[in-house]
Structure 1
Amino acid sequence: MKKKLFPSLVFAFAAVLFSANAIEQPALPKEKKVKINEIKKVKNTAFTYGEKLEYRVHYGPLTGGNASFEIDPNSVDVNGRKSYHIKVSGKSAGMVDVMFKVRDEFESYVDEEAIIPWKCIKRVKEGGYKDSDFIMFDQVNGFATSRRGKVDIEQQTQDVVSAIYFARTTDMTNAKVGDIFPVNFYIDAENYLLRFKYVGKEVVKTDAGTFNTLVIKPQLIKGRVFKDDEALTLWVTDDDNKLPIMVESDIFVGSIKAELIKYDKVKNPLTSKIK
């Protein structure tokens, strides 16, 4: 259980993404193969090169760790296409670091136009547990290859990092309370369908400022890590950036919370920021 809980602590607002045990729904039906020039383009008004987000994570009353999400300032060429190189790192801190040391790193190479991953690197150290993987996504022929083997994937399948950025591109201008937004997702040689439910708007205060936000609830599995199927709440800025501002969740051994403490080089003016 520890190796599933503490990655959620360090990357709290992406907790559902870092634990396959938190995902219940099967993946969408397999779609036909496409040529590389037929890959669907995604309108991205949310992020750009050079963006960096830093978070502080709390486990109950304790400061549990820190996490950063950073897009390299320059594009890289993957499969002849301009791509983002996104790096995510997290480490435990304070008493949590003494009890259960975490040093996790993920990298994803994401197509600039389609917002799909071409490859993903995983390096995880959590207590006495270590894991690493290198995943290659063939988005044209519809499969992913890693040290765990070859798996068929659907169009626009995301990895553990790209899923966060892909979700940020979702147009929620006319979203109604209760609307569901699905994301195809791959982790550890398995396919899943994540469902994010829009539940309304709130004003949220963090060390980075006070923001008007959209409130999202990922659908989870009750009875494993989380107390119920809507135990995790995610707040994102109510503007074109859709920055993840805060996440909060009750779990069986306490609660986790992560909040944005610093941001740099966001794509658009933060019109959601009140002060």
Structure 2
Amino acid sequence: MQYKLLSIICAVFTSLGVFAQNTTIKSGEKLVYAASYNMSGLMTTLAEVTMETTKVPDKNLFHLNLTASTYTKWDSYFKIRDQYQSYVSTKTLKPVLYYRNIDEGGYTKSEKYVFDYKNKVAKTTVQRRKKPETKKDVAISLQTSDVVATLYQLRNLNISAAKPGTKVTLTILFDGKEIPVIVKYMAKETISTDVFGKKECYKLSISAKTDALKGKDENLLWLTADAKKIPVLIKFSIPVGNGQLKLTKATGI
């Protein structure tokens, strides 16, 4: 279940103009989300997802850190302790290094991607539980990004200039494969948020040719309709149910 939850978050994001000049993201930002899942008809809060941004000392890089953990009372049901990390250019948010370490119900996996855009390749290293480490060079395009970096790249888009119905196709490297994702701008919509109260937002839909996502316009993202474009709500639908991530705390913005 957690794979579905986090992959939904990650599959959701990239940009209309990937690697545009960064004017939004800065060091010290921290966003906290409550992750809920529909269990027997009731939306139940199971986990906390945190996104943090820090500047790498003496480097023109940001360290983007995303973690997901089930609340203690749910650990006996399905314990989750996941971490996704990306090191990106402070100017363009273009990734140079990506790490993924997951522990989901006892299943563990670690991944490392080194992005080489000059040669259009990502050098990947994967270690699964009780299996030997594998290394592989994966061909990528100049626009391919990792799942964490694209979460932040999306926020640099000039969405205010887009018309409802505008679609873009993007590419994310996940599980060692390039995954095409379609993002559609739907409309502006005012919603109630825990952090900002009633807030006007950009509403986007996300679809992909993957088993992780289901339906048309059933996977939705709301970004604040301001200069920061903070993700305040994500709703997703998967073959075994549906859920959401709701922003509960934001600091350093």
Q: TM-score per shorter chain, which class? A: 0.7 to 0.9
**Residue 106 of structure 1, CA deviation:** 1.1
Q: Deviations over 1:23-62 (max 9, x none)?
A: xxxxxxxxxxxxxxxxx96222221111111101111221
**Residue 215 of structure 1, CA deviation:** 0.3
TM-score by length of 1: 0.78
Q: Deviations over 1:244-265 (max 9, x none)?
A: 1001123333321111011111
For the 8 Å contact 1:220–1:230, the answer to whether it is kept is no
**Bigger CA drift: 91-100 or 205-214?**
91-100
SS in 2 for 1:214: strand
SS in 1 for 2:75: helix
Structure 1 residues 188-207: aligned runs within 5 Å: 188-207=175-194
| Equivalent position amino acid for 1:58 in 2 | S
Given the superposition, is the C-alpha separation of residues 181 and 96 from structure 1 closer, same or farther in structure 2, using an over 3 Å criterion? farther
Q: Does 1:246 align with 2:236?
A: no
Determine which of 222, 235, 252 is the counterpart of 2:222.
235
Aligned residues: 235
Q: Does 1:159 align with 2:154?
A: no
Higher strand residue share: 2
For the 8 Å contact 2:4–2:238, the answer to whether it is kept is no
CA distance in 1, matches of 2:83, 2:214: 28
Determine which of 69, 72, 75 is the counterpart of 2:56.
75
CA distance in 2, matches of 1:152, 1:46: 30
Q: Which residue of 2 aligns with 1:84?
A: 62
**Residue 95 of structure 1, CA deviation:** 5.2
Q: Does 1:66 align with 2:48?
A: yes
TM-score by length of 2: 0.85
**Residue 76 of structure 1, CA deviation:** 4.3
CA distance in 2, matches of 1:41, 1:76: 22
Determine which of 95, 98, 110 is the counterpart of 1:117.
95
CA distance in 2, matches of 1:161, 1:107: 7
Unmatched runs of 5 consecutive residues or more in structure 2: 126-134
CA distance in 1, matches of 2:221, 2:146: 19
Instruction: Give me the identity figure in percent.
Output: 27
Q: Does 1:219 align with 2:219?
A: no
Unmatched runs of 5 consecutive residues or more in structure 1: 19-39, 267-275
Given the superposition, is the C-alpha separation of residues 15 and 256 from structure 1 closer, same or farther in structure 2, using an over 3 Å criterion? farther
For the 8 Å contact 2:167–2:184, the answer to whether it is kept is yes
SS in 2 for 1:173: helix
